[in-house]
Amino acid sequence: MLRRRFHFREILLQRQPSRQKCGEHMNLTAMMNTWTLQKGVPLVTVSRKGSHLLLRQERFLKAVLPSDPVWATLQHGYLWHIPLTFKTSTSSTVHRHLMVTKTDSVYVGEEVRWVKVNTDMAGYYLVHYEDGGWDQLTHLLRENHTALSYQDRTHLIHNAFQLVVTGKLSMGEALDLISYLPLETHTVPLLEGLGFLEAYYKMLEKRTDHDLTLKLRTHILRFFRGVIDQQTWSDQGSVSERHLRSEVLSLACDLGHAPCLQVANQSFADWLRSKGTLSLPTDLTETIYSVGAQDDQGWEALLHTYTVSHSETHKHKILSAMGSSRDTSKLNRLLELALKGKVIRHQDLSTLVYMVARNPQGQRLAWDFVKKNWGMLVQKFQLGSFCIRSLIVSTTAQFSSPEELADMQSFFKSIEEQASQLRATQVALDNVEKNVMWMQRNLGALRDWLNTHTQLFMLSLLQTSVFRSSSAHQASTTSPHPTGGASSSGTADLSFPWSRQRLPKYIVPLHYHLQLHPNLTALSVTGSVRIQIEVKSDTNWVVLHSKGLQISNATLLDHKLAHLSDQVLPVLHHPGHEQVAVFCPMVLSSGQKYFLQLQFGAELTEVFNGFYKSSYKTGSGQTRLLASTHFEPTSARKAFPCFDEPSFKANYTISIRRSPEHIALSNMPIEKTVRLKVDLMEDHFATSVKMSTYLVAFVVCDFRSVSATTSSGVQVSIYAAPEKMEQTHYALEVAIKTLDFYEKYFNIYYPLPKQDLIAIPDFESGAMENWGLITYRETSLLYDPLTSSATDKLWVTMVIAHELAHQWFGNLVTMVWWNDLWLNEGFARYMEYIAVEAMYPELRVEEYLLHTYFAAVARDSLNSSRPISSPAENPTEIEEMFDTVSYDKGACVLHMLRHFLTDEVFQSGIVRYLHKFSYSNAHNQDLWDSLANVRDIIFTFVHIPSHDLGLSHQSNAQHERHTLDSKA
């Protein structure tokens, strides 16, 4: 085999003599800029001409057809450097080819019958096969589907149905491709095929074409009858098998499959009789609850259980079930409860609205709810936040008629000033335009196919053995503009000295001494901050960030802490830019260091960012208050005046006053605690390492903790409300293992003496990577063996791995500006897969990496997508950077790059990157420069046999373990 692979490469290089020469001049920057500086995902079209594959690339677009006038404009200038991989019928070798032009060709030989491009979905591109290529692959799946890996089978299914949307493949061809699925035994391709059919059914269910809806429902139940019937109502089997069982039985009940409904109804009745004490299979609890929620008694019982449950994971399942009710009055009641925020927390509002919107009976209710309450929602959730974006996109996701599209356009017109600031509005419109186009192009084809194939399918069932019993998700270029207003304290003759959104660079913070006193009775906070600054050019002004703070006193001191002026220093405000400017009569000299001292006060915020209040209820019904922070990306300025940009890294020395019944936590350990009064304590924390403002954190609460120590001596603690401590043990195990793994993988010790992970009752995001004090939504940290499913366990594992990856990617090395957020989030998303696969192979996390690919393509194939690296200046634009592109596409591009470079080169490169830029900031270019030498890349790509490149899952894991072991 080795000789044959080498011989093929010799032939390839002989037939394409210019390829190696081009390679010598290729550089990684040029290649990766095509993936990070332009939006979209490429489509590679493959055809055959004799012994060669003919290749051409274009931008893959949904909702725009080649016949549309704008097609040529939207395609102009797009070119990717694509590291192609492919397999053929004549060899199991993974062949490689770097495509850097619009059209290209590759030698494969005359004897090749079929070719599968993008092996194991390692590359971020779609593939279309012309000249009968799809027919050959359809035949292969029917005759010998295991000739392809499960990733390749899933990739074919996904690409086929994506191409249906664009008209490059007919509905019939895509449905014929998945006709092999009764032979499939792997969860991922099964659920991928089933997922497209389910999506079509959901769109049809709310239409008046009941005959077509019934035919599709009947087809799904008949087609997947084998896999449905083999499922047990238990938690037995592998994680993959349990995931399949959960999805299949949920859909079967939703489609009205009588045997499933009978078991679910009986299980729910037994649960009712036990007054909620009966343990249900955790993977199927939500399905059983959903069936039971369809009558009044069941729905009310679930609402009561929701109010008394101490497991947020369990409550999430209950909400989902209640949101599946076909009774619109109950759905409206749910929405009103969420709006009030007492029974259902505001943090869950966007999730609940999504749950209602995916219900055919609730879709219109959810959209009308968003329109009616838009003003309150924007006040509660910051414009550009995940919640606002989710409310827009999720409530309209299944709209598919011109009337619904017109309604959206009308509403966005009515909120034009806000809508124009949100990319999410155009994403939602593009998505619905795609759905409308799908309906217009494919509804008739789907009907014809169902009519033709129903009888053929019934016949094939009699002839086919179905399922085996073992079968089983850059800097701104804007010119200065008019200045802001002056404050009222003797500053009428001064104008705001700075007109840009981003802070000037002539003042650099070095060290913050921050003292805070949050009052959980008055829900207010007072504080003072002394910031050591270094002046880069002569000035009379210090400009920094502040939002919603009442600054009562400003003082400038020299390096000996002597006052520079006896006068009250004027403080000017620019609310539009969330900036304040302190004027000093004496010139601050370049090269000198000074101290800026500010006293301030504020209210604990009611929203989920800044320094905000939270609460929880004890088992006896008492309400307990706490105060927590969430600063990323631009909310540290709401808690204390600061230079709130990622490149302004500094050290922090923090002290917090609290009552004796509370504890205070921050990034660093407590050095000492001083009793100021009988009822007032002050905790002094150790000075932090250099870090950005958005990573500062503090919490005042009455939580308890469990702790353990990593192999390198880092104390890890999990904090939660006292009555939830039994749900913290799994998180502690995962955190310890993950920190140990990352220290070995990155070859850099975790730099702090402790790492706290805390479950906050009110939390908008999944988690936040504050250095040394990671805050989590309870569902992302707490694991209850009695109510958490296999999927819940995987989610907790992955979120912990994601946030701990940030301690290196994001915290130790931070992007210079938010336009390169993907350097934080893309890496953390990808490293969570690498870490979990190595530590918990039984969780089969590589299967979920495919869903990351699907999510990225779904967003990136819309014209409203954006490049990975995109301009972002104001807080709303920055908030919108936290999206599928930064996270999922970023991870997919890194996955492709890792396969291109090999595991060893990739790991060595990122270790060099982390070492070189520790405690500082980096650009895209810094990553490319660290990753590899050009000559090494080309030598690896052209000359190393593919079996040495870790292309399969098994060899990947083995190679990774060898690398880690050799470092130990």
Record the tokens describing residue 330, joined without a space.
């109950």
CB atoms within 10 A of CB 236: 11
769 is in an annotated binding site: no
* Angstrom distance (rounded) from CA 491 to CA 777: 44
Q: Supply angle C-alpha 175, 176, 182, rounded to 5.
A: 90
Q: What is the crossing angle of helices 363-372 and 386-395, to 10°? A: 140
555 three-class SS:
strand
682 is in an annotated binding site: no
Strand partners, 684: 655, 672
Instruction: Tell me which amino acid residue 681 is.
Output: M
Quick one: DSSP state of residue 563?
B
Closest CA to 548 of 601, 597, 589, 588: 601
852 three-class SS:
helix
Record the tokens describing residue 743, joined without a space.
């220290």
Q: Which residues contact 770 (CB under 8 A, 6 or more apart)?
A: 629, 631, 667, 695, 696, 697
**Active-site residues: which are they?**
803
Q: Which residues contact 308 (CB under 8 A, 6 or more apart)?
A: none
* Angstrom distance (rounded) from CA 794 to CA 511: 39
Please, are residues 859 and 889 in contact by the beta-carbon 8 Å criterion? yes
Record the tokens describing residue 193, joined without a space.
């095929």
CA-only gyration radius of the chain, Å:
29
| CA-to-CA dists, residue 934 to 28, 653, 760, 827, angstroms | 7, 44, 47, 22
Q: In what order do the strands lie in the sheet with 103-107?
A: 103-107, 52-60, 41-49, 126-129
Strand partners, 593: 534
Instruction: Give the torsion through C-alpha atoms of 837, 794, 162, 410, to 10 deg.
Output: -140
* Angstrom distance (rounded) from CA 692 to CA 633: 10
802 is in an annotated binding site: yes
| CA-to-CA dists, residue 772 to 672, 803, 825, 894, 917, angstroms | 18, 11, 18, 26, 19
User: Tokens 């802070």 appear where?
Assistant: 503
Q: Supply angle C-alpha 217, 167, 171, rounded to 5.
A: 25
User: Tokens 């492919």 appear where?
Assistant: 86
Residue 700 has phi, psi (to 5 degrees) of -120, 120
* Angstrom distance (rounded) from CA 930 to CA 902: 15
Closest CA to 679 of 693, 696, 662: 662
Q: Is 675 exposed, middle or buried (0-12, 13-18, 19+ CB in 10 A)?
A: exposed
Q: Which residues contact 384 (CB under 8 A, 6 or more apart)?
A: 421, 422, 875, 876, 877, 878, 879, 880
Record the tokens describing residue 728, joined without a space.
């913290």
Closest CA to 564 of 580, 546, 587, 539: 587
Residue 323 has phi, psi (to 5 degrees) of -75, -10
User: Tokens 């308890």 appear where?
Assistant: 704
* Angstrom distance (rounded) from CA 403 to CA 405: 5
Query: What do you get for the CA distance between the two ends of the chain, in Å?
Result: 33
Kind plus residue range of the DSSP H or E element containing 34: helix 28-36
121 three-class SS:
helix
User: Tokens 């009988």 appear where?
Assistant: 678
